[in-house]
Amino acid sequence: MLDNLYISSCRKMAAPWLRLALKISPKNQVNYSRFYAILYAKRCLTTRTTNSPQNNKKVFEKNAENVLTYAAVLATTIGYAFYKWKDEIFDNFKSTVSPFLTVQAKGLFGGEVNENRDKYNFIADVVEVCAPAVVYIEIQDKKRLDIFTGKPLTTSNGSGFIVSEDGLILTNAHVVINKPNTFVKVRLQDGTTYPGIVEDVDMQSDLATVRISKTNLPVMKLGSSSNIRPGEFVVAIGSPLSLSNTITSGVVSSVNRQSKELGLNKQMGYIQTDAAITFGNSGGPLVNLNGEAIGINAMKVTAGISFAIPIDYAKDFLKKAEMRRNNKGSVLVGMQGAAETVKRRYLGITMLSLTPEILLELQQRNQSIPPSVKHGVLVWKVMVGSPAYFGGLRAGDIVSHINNNPVVEADDIYKVLANTGPVVMTVVRNGEVLHISVEPEDV
């Protein structure tokens, strides 16, 4: 019985060693390991015992010694084979295990890092939906040519977005009007350009529509500005410095910044945002995370303070424009200022009235503005080739007086432009006081 038990144990010990040698040894070297394993098993199985207890004890001790000897020999053989052919063994092991093991880096919140790009790039998702409907608007002067290209000189540029697939584009009024001897060019996202025709203008809300001869265009979805909240994420899309479809993002700082707080002679509220709105962004859309336009980018005061016209004003403007077209050219109700704009002369600047609050903030940010400046308008932009440009006005100038009369708001300059003759402006620039004479053009 003891002999049978011993034989059974030998079989159990020999079999795993044989299987291990067969699995981990390279195919062309497996015979060496197999030889030693078989030799060990055969020696165990062919050992015979007698019924004598003394002989059984001696044989058992002898066989135990043999087991230890052959185990040591077998372990040495396998170790040598493993050392000599370790590279091949590791390759075989990797090819067997790698399909079942994958390594994934964990994110901050327990998710996979590979999923973060798809999960958290919500700005990119908004841009992908909205960008095709945003256009670049360029204003070119028919009478002035670029000395390098010989083409009409670009006097101004801005942005807009398509609100009807038949070619109707919404933009700011100051982007496309008050520029004599000019024509409008519109460039779509695919690079194609079309001449634009200004159809409707509302100076009071600073809105205008431009139409191009193109159909089946992508259309910007219009949202609502009545339910936006402070702190809400927004995306500004436009063409600053002629760079089409430039994206900036931020949050809504205020949902109803009244025009009086900005020193503007208008009865409307603005959306204040810290999304960067620079030159050329004017007229582009301010978009929420649903891909809906909730505002029209209008102006930047300083870094982190920009303003947009609420889209609800634009919806009302578009309804009135549609009524005018249906009535075949009757006067559009709500176009305040459109008629008197024709009477004014062209200066070629975009202005912002300086309230005491805005002026104080500018003085704190810019030490070159002396404390003696108590009122004026900030020259936000000067159109290239305009009378103001040739007269020497520059963006960033503060006009404190015009024809020796104090300037408190932009309307003070508009009143002077209704008269004839040159205008003399007292300008503060980099801490210096300058007197600049400009001859406005008749429109």
Residues 239 and 305 in one domain: yes
**Per-residue pLDDT, 181:** 72
Can you tell me the distance from the alpha carbon of 430 to that of 436, in angstroms, rounded to the nearest whole number?
15
Name the least confident of 235-249, 313-327, 335-349. Answer: 335-349
Q: Which two tokens stand for residue 428?
A: 């503060």
Same domain, 228 and 189: no
Active-site residue (options: 33, 141, 156, 174): 174
Task: Note whether residue 351 is domain-resident.
Answer: yes
Q: What is the pLDDT of residues 118-140, one digit of tens each?
A: 777 888 888 899 989 999 998 88
Residues 22 and 55 in one domain: yes
Instruction: Tell me whether residue 325 is in a domain.
Output: no
User: Does 84 share its domain with 9?
Assistant: yes
Torsion angle (degrees, nearest 10) of CA 204, 207, 213, 218? -150
Q: How would DSSP label each residue in 218-244? A: --PEE--SSS--TT-EEEEEE-GGG-T
My answer on whether 205 and 242 are in the same domain is no
How far, in Å, are 15, 26, 78, 229 from residue 23 at the CA level? Answer: 12, 8, 11, 67
In a domain, 112, yes or no: no
> Looking at residues 217-246, what average pLDDT do you find?
84
The domain that holds 288 is classified in CATH as 2.40.10.10
Element (H, E) at 40: helix 30-45
Task: Name the domain count of the chain.
Answer: 4
Question: CA 352, CA 206: separation in Å to the nearest integer?
Answer: 13
Final residue in a domain of this structure, among 63, 84, 100: 100
Q: What is the mean pLDDT of residues 8-26?
A: 52
Mean pLDDT throughout 197-206? 84
> DSSP for 99-137?
GG-----B-TTSSBGGGHHHHH-HHHHHHHHHGGGEEEE
Q: Which of 206, 253, 353, 397 is catalytic?
A: 206
Output the domain CATH number for residue 372: 2.30.42.10
Residue among 244, 282, 306, 353 flagged as catalytic = 282
Q: Are residues 6 and 31 in the same domain?
A: yes
| Residue 401 a catalytic site member | no
Q: Which of 366, 352, 420, 437 is nearest to 174 (CA)?
A: 352
Contacts of 114 (CB under 8 A, 6+ apart): 104, 105
DSSP 29: G
412 is catalytic: no
Note the pLDDT of residue 382.
Answer: 83
Q: Which single residue is written with the structure tokens 């030693």?
A: 36
- The reply to whether 146 and 95 lie within a common domain is no
Is the same domain home to 50 and 134? Answer: no
Classify residue 116: in a domain, yes or no.
no
Mean pLDDT of 23-32: 49
Give residue 49's pLDDT band: very low, low, confident or very high (50, 70, 90): very low
> Contact, 184 vs 196, CB < 8 A?
yes
CB 371 within 8 A of CB 364: no
225 and 185 housed in the same domain: no
| Catalytic status, residue 375 | no
Domain-located, residue 308? yes
Q: Would you place residue 351 in the very low, low, confident or very high pLDDT band (cuts 50, 70, 90)? A: confident
pLDDT value at residue 136 = 92
Round the average pLDDT of the chain to a whole number and report it: 75
Q: Is residue 202 part of a domain?
A: yes
Q: For tokens 């020696």, name the residue.
A: 43
Q: Output the six-digit token pair for 228.
A: 């936006």
Torsion, Cα of 227, 231, 237, 243 (10° steps): 160
Residue 326: what are its φ and ψ, rounded to 5°?
Answer: -70, -30
**Would 330 be classed as within a structural domain?**
no
Distance CA 235, CA 218 (A): 18
Same domain, 203 and 244: no
Is residue 148 domain-resident?
A: yes
- The pLDDT, as a whole number, for residue 340 is 39
Point out the domain boundary residue: 211, 233, 268.
211
Per residue in 282-335, pLDDT tens?
888 999 999 999 999 887 666 677 888 999 989 999 998 888 777 755 444 333
pLDDT at 192: 92
135 shares a domain with 190: yes
Measured torsion, CA atoms of residues 66, 72, 74, 77, in degrees rounded to the nearest 10: -140
Rg over CA atoms, the chain:
41
Residue 256 to residue 238: CA distance in whole angstroms: 22
User: What's the CA gap between 1 and 8, in Å, rounded?
Assistant: 11
Strands 292-302 and 221-222 come out as parallel
Given 277, 300, 316, the domain boundary residue is: 316
Domain shared by 356 and 407, yes or no = yes
**Domain span including residue 160:** 128-211
